[in-house]
Structure 1
Amino acid sequence: MPPAITYIDSPDELAAFCKAIGSSPWIAVDTEFVRDKTYYPKFCLLQIANGSRAACIDPLAIEDLREVEALLFNRAITKVFHAARQDLEIFFHRFQAVPAPIFDTQLAAPLVGHPEQIGYASLVSATLGVTVDKEHTRTDWTQRPLSAAQKEYAANDVIHLAALYPKIREQLDRLGRCSWLADDFAALENPGLYVNRPEDAWERIGGLERLKPDQFALAVRLAAWRENTAQQNDLPRNWILRDEALLEIALRKPRTRDALQALRGIDSRAVQRYGDAVIALVQTPDDGRAAPPQPRRVQRRSAQTEAVLDAMSALVRLRCIEHTINPAVVASRRDLEEALESPDSAKVLQGWRRALAGNDIRAFLEEKAILRMRGGELTLNGRD
């Protein structure tokens, strides 16, 4: 029988609930937020369950969340999420820190036979045989009062998650794969994941590889200005300037309001509000500081490189056969290309993928291991 749902909108109720579940070894956690009209997510609801209790906590009604903070940052309690990153961003902005330790069912699911980045509803259906109600997916969670149906919808997210966690954890333990996820979960605790530095904002913009160096330098300045402006005014960055408009400005370098207004994709309100700042950026001379590396144009790979990728793919398949894991979960063709081009950041060389196949890929690329046939089977360096 599912636990009863408590709706908490007073400090006394919150204190009583946090005390009641404070000795739990783990809790399932979810949030509801809105960011359609803001840069930062607006924290609207917090759901917590431990298998026997479940609550929806209203942060719009309760200003002091120290009881929740103590619960979330108690390292004796594992915090279970599905696709944790957005929820953790909420907590980072609210508490200036990231809860730990973390268990993310979306990251764990591929290690017990599910597709990579499986959605919450699909995982609940596959594991529990329960169909998740999607009626309130588009709810405006800032509105009060919430209906009984909205509260039930929100609470069910953590009630199902609390039922999922022991099952997935048991499967991981049986397969001996819990330790594989340690690096991935620890990475989620890095506060740097939740800080958008204006100087790095250009990295989220596609199409920069087709710009000339001076145009690229201007795009970097424009992206940093837009990010700063969005943060300071708590507005979506695309409300300041859309990506396609930013690229057009970098290409054309308009030096007057009329020239700016004539560009494709430029909103007249944006010209009115931000035109002078944009033109000033266009006219700003290069200050001589080292520019970030410009993205490279995609080059056609040589036949030799394709052959190396084929060998890497064969190595991944070899390891996946041993561990009965779908190779697509471990490394796509693009992931293997990244291992060739940028090994320090390649996904297949990080976390559990590194232990499963990444270390062997690195050894193969460094000519410390050899793929060969033995007894009609593919082996690595004769060790298999």
Structure 2
Amino acid sequence: MTDYVVIDSDEAFASAAHALAAGQGPVAVDVERASGFRYSQRAYLVQVFRRDAGAFLFDPIAITSFAPLQEAIGAEEWVFHAASQDLPSLHELGLEPARVFDTELAARLLGYERVGLAAVVERALGIVLAKEHSAADWSTRPLPNAWLEYAELDVLHLIDVRDFIAAELDAAGKTGFADEEFEAARVRRPKPPREEPWRRLSGLHQVRGAKNLAVARELWEAREELARESDVSPGRLVPDRALIAAVQANPQSKGALAAVSAFTGRASRSQIDRWWAAIERGRERTDLPRERVPSDAPPPPRAWADRNPEADARLKAARAAVEAHAEELGMPTENLLTPDTLRRIAWEPPVPVDAGTIGEALAARDARRWQIEETAQRIADAFVEAAQTPDEAPGSSS
């Protein structure tokens, strides 16, 4: 078995950056994180491959600055598989591509049934990749050789896959679509933090009453604080379901909390003082959270027929038109237009309804130009058709 070398010194890193600068063509890039193990989404391994340079595995924990790599390849096209997952971690390292090619996103636009890296590599090149280490704890040091082999293979074939898919995009007349999607992925930045992130607790809908919600909020914040301090994924400390169980049990003492069988996790007992203090704080709070949070999102579509039958008719007509066109284009409907965007416009359409106003509404919700060109007129026509009564419909008798 090959012994894989992880570059973990600034001197070796500078030499690798020089070699990559001398390579040819696009650059394949991938990132390994420790999601589910660590609190942060930082990169714990960065893999880079370029023709005539080779593959390199970088340890971002040991390297002082990634500026030499940015200088070496920053102007080149960077090839990813699912760029949106890797770009935030690369941004933290100061790595910013000027151009992006995303083989996963392109595979979706081409209508591939399976778009995971292994499936796409096999379809494009006939090479079978093992994916057994995709969920590993990449913060482990030293990294096992088998993991490093897996990591290198993630980039080793990516340029050849890029060339295969680029040809397919061109043959399908979808290169322009893909270019706009790639650029949107490149410039997209994370959404701002939620105003009340504790409401992301899975199972929170089971908690009744503002006072109990205040306890849930304090437990969530106590867990976040411990997770940040220890750099451990919150769910590994105490799972969401355990926090909810602690709230529902309504314990009257620290001992009663420790006795809650569903209150589990590696820190449920070792940090019992922390959790009990959080419960007491929650019970003492006077600034109780709202039991229902107002939302600007439309209600679930199943309620539209009763609450807004006109909107229901618009959505059904437009959804059918968009789905039919997505099938014609050979791509998933959600890549042609996100369901949430269509729902929002159907619930509150622009006035007057025509391709121009629909296009403006789509652009305001970050639809790309190609999506607007492919859907605006169809949505407008569907809305107009849905608004017609039987007496007004073309060809109806009076």
What's the TM-score bracket when you normalise by the shorter of the two chains? 0.7 to 0.9
Contact 1:80 1:165 in 2 (8 A): yes
Measure, in 1, the Cα distance between the counterparts of 2:136 and 2:92: 22
Which residue number in structure 2 is paired with residue 90 of structure 1? 89
Q: Would you say 1:313 and 2:303 are equivalent positions?
A: no
Contact 1:39 1:234 in 2 (8 A): yes
- Over the residues paired in the alignment, what is the CA RMSD in angstroms? 4.3
Select between 209-218 and 315-324 the one with higher mean Cα deviation: 209-218
Which residue number in structure 2 is paired with residue 243 of structure 1? 240
Question: 1:142-157 maps to which residues of 2 (within 5 A)?
Answer: 142-144=140-142, 146-147=144-145, 150-157=147-154
Measure, in 1, the Cα distance between the counterparts of 2:374 and 2:7: 47
Structure 1 pair 15/216, CA: closer, same or farther in 2 (3 Å)? same
Contact 1:115 1:329 in 2 (8 A): no
Structure 1 residue 230: deviation in Å? 1.9
Match of 1:301 among 300, 303, 312: 303
Instruction: Report the residue type matching 1:160 in the other structure.
Output: H
Structure 1 pair 253/316, CA: closer, same or farther in 2 (3 Å)? same
Contact 1:254 1:282 in 2 (8 A): no
Measure, in 1, the Cα distance between the counterparts of 2:227 and 2:378: 42
Q: What's the secondary structure of 2:28's corresponding residue?
A: strand
Match of 2:117 among 106, 116, 120: 120
Measure, in 1, the Cα distance between the counterparts of 2:248 and 2:58: 47
Contact 2:46 2:59 in 1 (8 A): yes
Question: 1:330-341 maps to which residues of 2 (within 5 A)?
Answer: 330=336, 340=346
> What number of residue pairs does the alignment pair up?
360
Question: 1:1-384 maps to which residues of 2 (within 5 A)?
Answer: 8-22=7-21, 26-41=26-41, 43-59=43-59, 62-71=62-71, 74=74, 76-95=75-94, 99-115=97-113, 118-134=115-131, 136-137=133-134, 141=138, 142-144=140-142, 146-147=144-145, 150-181=147-178, 182-183=180-181, 185-193=183-191, 197=193, 199-209=195-205, 211-212=207-208, 214=210, 215-216=212-213, 218-251=215-248, 254=251, 256-261=253-258, 263=260, 265-267=262-264, 268-269=268-269, 270-286=271-287, 292-293=293-294, 300-301=302-303, 303=305, 304=309, 308-327=314-333, 330=336, 340=346, 350-351=367-368, 354-355=371-372, 358-360=375-377, 363=380, 367=383, 369-370=384-385
Select between 97-106 and 49-58 the one with higher mean Cα deviation: 97-106
Which residue number in structure 1 is paired with residue 353 of structure 2? none
Structure 1 residue 234: deviation in Å? 1.4
Q: TM-score, normalised by structure 1?
A: 0.73
Measure, in 2, the Cα distance between the counterparts of 1:345 and 1:285: 42
CA displacement 1:6-65 (0-9 Å, x = unmatched): 764443332233223326553110123334542124643221112333223231684223
Q: TM-score, normalised by structure 2?
A: 0.71
Measure, in 1, the Cα distance between the counterparts of 2:214 and 2:346: 27
Contact 1:205 1:243 in 2 (8 A): yes
Q: What's the secondary structure of 1:277's corresponding residue?
A: helix
Structure 1 pair 89/162, CA: closer, same or farther in 2 (3 Å)? same
Contact 1:41 1:90 in 2 (8 A): yes
CA displacement 1:326-371 (0-9 Å, x = unmatched): 547546878855665699999x973478436553465357x4x437
Structure 1 residue 280: deviation in Å? 1.0
Structure 1 pair 73/200, CA: closer, same or farther in 2 (3 Å)? farther
Structure 1 residue 81: deviation in Å? 1.0
Measure, in 1, the Cα distance between the counterparts of 2:273 and 2:221: 20
Which residue number in structure 2 is paired with residue 376 of structure 1? none
Contact 1:104 1:185 in 2 (8 A): no
Measure, in 2, the Cα distance between the counterparts of 1:351 and 1:259: 55
Structure 1 pair 85/335, CA: closer, same or farther in 2 (3 Å)? same
Q: What's the secondary structure of 1:48's corresponding residue?
A: strand
Instruction: Report the residue type matching 2:86 in the other structure.
Output: D
Contact 1:34 1:41 in 2 (8 A): yes
Select between 311-320 and 134-143 the one with higher mean Cα deviation: 134-143
Measure, in 2, the Cα distance between the counterparts of 1:217 and 1:329: 39
CA displacement 1:264-293 (0-9 Å, x = unmatched): 621351434432123212321116899853
Measure, in 2, the Cα distance between the counterparts of 1:144 and 1:241: 27
Contact 1:226 1:240 in 2 (8 A): yes
Measure, in 2, the Cα distance between the counterparts of 1:13 and 1:210: 54
Structure 1 residue 123: deviation in Å? 0.8
Contact 2:213 2:291 in 1 (8 A): no
Percent of paired sites with the same residue: 26
Q: What's the secondary structure of 2:33's corresponding residue?
A: strand
Structure 1 pair 299/236, CA: closer, same or farther in 2 (3 Å)? same
CA displacement 1:45-92 (0-9 Å, x = unmatched): 221112333223231684223345524882x22221112233223324
Gap runs ≥5 in structure 1: 373-384
Structure 1 pair 229/285, CA: closer, same or farther in 2 (3 Å)? farther
Structure 1 pair 88/271, CA: closer, same or farther in 2 (3 Å)? same
